[in-house]
Structure 1
């Protein structure tokens, strides 16, 4: 973030018109922007500027945007990444979700929706020390195992009170499952019930988000304690889950 407190966004796209459009629109929304048309310039920007979010085209002319996003994720683990793509191939969306991206938008996109999603990603990426978190007495929370899911502030905390950052899709999926413990849900039901999975969602997308949640929640993701697969049916969240209002901060 720059000295004036504005968030800095890096736009990676090989189409000048798209770069200019995004830069102008995001500056009007109060962001600072830098742009790159290829991987080399992207890395230069990341090295020279304190970037808060990367907005990247999945299909660059001479480079694999997905591979670039995966490289950014490997080097900057907590960097929010939103991917833009003009193709509707489901496999590409799945790979992006699994390997790198926090969110997707398809071209042509709505600028208002894009800026809203960027704002949400930036908000979720801001980590706060547990001691600095203030929980209102009327927060609604779920407790399972050593985890606390605050449904009001939309945060997940471990036994030490540390926040585990979840994407919008991950949180919505966990909320859907944890509020219905010991109940088998099909993928179609999960999509219908999850507030964060409204657009461009396929059955396989749910499977990928389940994998990502297991990596964050489970001591052994291959032998999950909480999110269990019901073959041929869907998924089940293993209880018990305790619901409380107030006093739910670790």
Structure 2
């Protein structure tokens, strides 16, 4: 299985990397990553590389072990292969979110179909990396996720939402505790970004929220994300919530400004 997109010499030895300051938290504790990968050679390579970049890495080969450990020790980020034996990465991600765990999750896979990427995001993943990938891209994406979600307090980066809150949106229920939308017994786990945006809108019904504000609450630590990220998340939410996504009833556009939640 190919990991590195770079060819030739060992990419770790020949790359120049930015400062490692972003690999530690404010109290100088290194960020703790869970690496869930059943390919032992690949696991060892990734663990060694991330360790050299200043991260503390706990490795495991099965999603079941990760779900058990995550209840005992909360990592700052989970890097997980989709094609795991037994419980796969997609179902493990869904179970994480259903259990109320909100740490960022990056899925890594050899699959490259759009439907797999979309499914991963709908299961609650925050990012999706297809093999082969470069070490620079892996490092950049891990750091971006940590900037986005770590040390931000409330998930939505702004007002807090009651963890026991359930808000009706048409035929759906927005359940804060499980970070999900539920309808007729079916559950869709929201990604961290979707949850942050929807929570901000729900907390301010009938108030027009700017796209800049929604970007701020969903990506508080990331400076290289554009407003299109907000629009893309709104599109995904509308596809789930709206009877006619092209004519939205609950999440309406305020032209030239942003969006408004209309209960």
Range into which the TM-score falls when normalised by the shorter chain = 0.5 to 0.7
Residue in 2 that maps onto 1:135: none
Residue 123 of structure 1 corresponds to which residue in structure 2?
147
Inter-CA distance 209–57: structure 2 relative to 1 (3 Å threshold): farther
CA distance in 1 between partners of 2:145 and 2:97 (Å): 15
**How many Å separate the matches in 1 of 2:136 and 2:143?**
11
Does residue 48 of structure 2 align to residue 24 of structure 1? yes
Q: Is contact 1:54-1:82 (8 Å) kept?
A: yes
| CA distance in structure 2 between the aligned counterparts of 1:78 and 1:167, rounded to whole angstroms | 16
TM-score by length of 2: 0.57
- How much does 1:62 deviate? 2.9
Match of 2:256 among 200, 218, 241: 241
Corresponding position of 2:133: 109
Change in Cα spacing, 1:60 to 1:41, as seen in structure 2 (3 Å) is: same
The reply to whether residue 96 of structure 1 matches residue 120 of structure 2 is yes
Q: Does 1:210 align with 2:235?
A: yes
1:229 aligned to which of 234, 246, 250: 246
Q: Secondary structure at the match of 1:97?
A: helix
Contact 1:8 1:31 in 2 (8 A): yes
* Alpha-carbon displacement from aligned partner over 1:37-76 (angstroms, at most 9, x marks no partner): 0123212331332301111101113332110111112224
Other structure's SS at 2:71 match: helix
Contact kept, 8 Å, 1:170 with 1:213, in 2: the verdict is no
The answer to whether residue 74 in structure 2 is matched with residue 50 in structure 1 is yes
Change (3 A) 1:21 1:171: same
For 1:40-189, what aligned pairs fall within 5 Å after superposition? 40-126=64-150, 127-128=152-153, 145-150=207-212, 154-155=215-216, 163-164=217-218, 172-174=227-229, 177=231
**Root-mean-square deviation over aligned CA pairs:** 3.8
More deviation in 70-79 or 80-89?
70-79
Quick one: distance in 2 between partners of 1:69 and 1:12?
12
Gaps of 5+ in 1: 132-143, 156-162, 178-205, 216-220, 232-236, 244-250
Native 8 Å contact 1:35 1:42 kept in 2: no
SS at match of 1:61: coil
